[in-house]
């Protein structure tokens, strides 16, 4: 599905407020997952965008923990996972099956990117990514780890991280919310990133 893959709303560059279009009701979740997978296998770009909007937020949260708080690593892994979905997703038996497929591909990309980084001379002393089995219970535990790490941060820092990474607001939009400048937002976000990485690493070290 070349058209969908090339026109995918890139996570890093697209910081518009997120609109979660996939509002799955419990009774319809499995049917919707099957519908999306089938449509994507036929090259339906609208279905691909629905998949992206419905799952990218949760997938990025998972990738952020798998990458030990490295947001660039997480972004790259999620981007790659959706590109692979556009090309290779053919069917889904249920909503759980679809999520597990996306999560597994994301894990594979995290591991691949991590190994590649370790071969680069500039990367020294990088910790190993958490060894996760990949079932739903593990995903939930990792998401709880992220929530716990976010809650451990000062509220002001947590809000900036959530606005930028999960709500996809731009520096300019966040500056408007905080009545400050985009440059000040950039500085605050960089400090918040460091705190989040530290908090995630600390949580993982206690749980692994």
Q: Which two tokens stand for residue 46?
A: 């609208």
The rounded distance, in Å, linking the Cα atoms of 201 and 46 is: 37
Read off the pLDDT of residues 110-133 as tens digits, 9 standing for 90 and up.
Answer: 988 877 776 654 444 444 554 443
More reliable by pLDDT, 168 or 50? 50
All residues at 6 or more sequence positions from 205 whose CB lies less than 8 Å from its CB, including other chains: none
* CA separation, residue 186 to residues 95, 124, 146, 171 (Å): 37, 26, 22, 7
What ranges do the domains of the chain cover? 2-207
Is the Cβ–Cβ distance between 64 and 204 less than 8 Å?
no
Distance, CA of 83 to CA of 1 (rounded, Å): 9
Q: Mean pLDDT, the chain, as a whole number?
A: 79
* CA neighbor of 89 nearest in space, from 36, 135, 46: 36
What integer is the mean pLDDT of 120-149? 61
Q: What is the pLDDT of residue 120?
A: 59
What pLDDT is recorded for position 4?
Answer: 44
- In angstroms, the Cα distances linking 156 to 99, 162, 189, 194, 195 are 31, 10, 10, 14, 12
Helical segments of the chain, H only: 2-6, 29-41, 45-66, 71-88, 95-118, 136-151, 155-161, 171-178, 182-207
pLDDT band of 22, cuts 50, 70, 90: very low
Residue 83 has a pLDDT of: 96
Per-residue pLDDT reduced to its tens digit, 174-206: 999 999 999 999 999 999 888 888 888 777 776
Cα 28 from Cα 185, distance rounded (Å): 40
């Amino acid at each position: 599905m070349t058209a969908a893959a090339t026109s995918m709303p890139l996570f890093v560059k697209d910081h518009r407020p997120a609109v979660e279009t996939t509002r799955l009701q419990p009774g319809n979740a499995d049917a919707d997952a099957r519908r999306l997978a089938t449509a994507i296998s036929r090259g339906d770009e609208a279905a691909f965008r629905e998949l992206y909007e419905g799952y990218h937020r949760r997938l990025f949260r998972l990738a952020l923990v798998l990458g030990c708080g490295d947001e660039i690593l997480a972004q790259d892994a999620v981007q790659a996972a959706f590109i692979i979905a556009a090309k290779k997703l053919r069917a889904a038996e249920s909503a759980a099956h679809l999520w597990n497929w996306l999560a597994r591909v994301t894990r594979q990309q995290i591991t691949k990117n991590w190994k590649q980084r370790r071969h680069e001379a500039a990367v020294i002393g990088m910790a190993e990514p958490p060894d996760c089995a990949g079932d739903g219970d593990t995903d939930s535990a990792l998401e709880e780890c992220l929530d716990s790490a976010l809650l451990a941060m000062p509220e002001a820092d947590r809000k900036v991280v959530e606005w930028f990474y999960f709500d996809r607001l731009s520096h300019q939009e966040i500056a408007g919310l905080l009545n400050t400048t985009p440059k000040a937002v950039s500085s605050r976000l960089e400090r918040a990133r460091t705190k989040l990485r530290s908090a995630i690493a600390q949580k993982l070290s206690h749980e692994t």
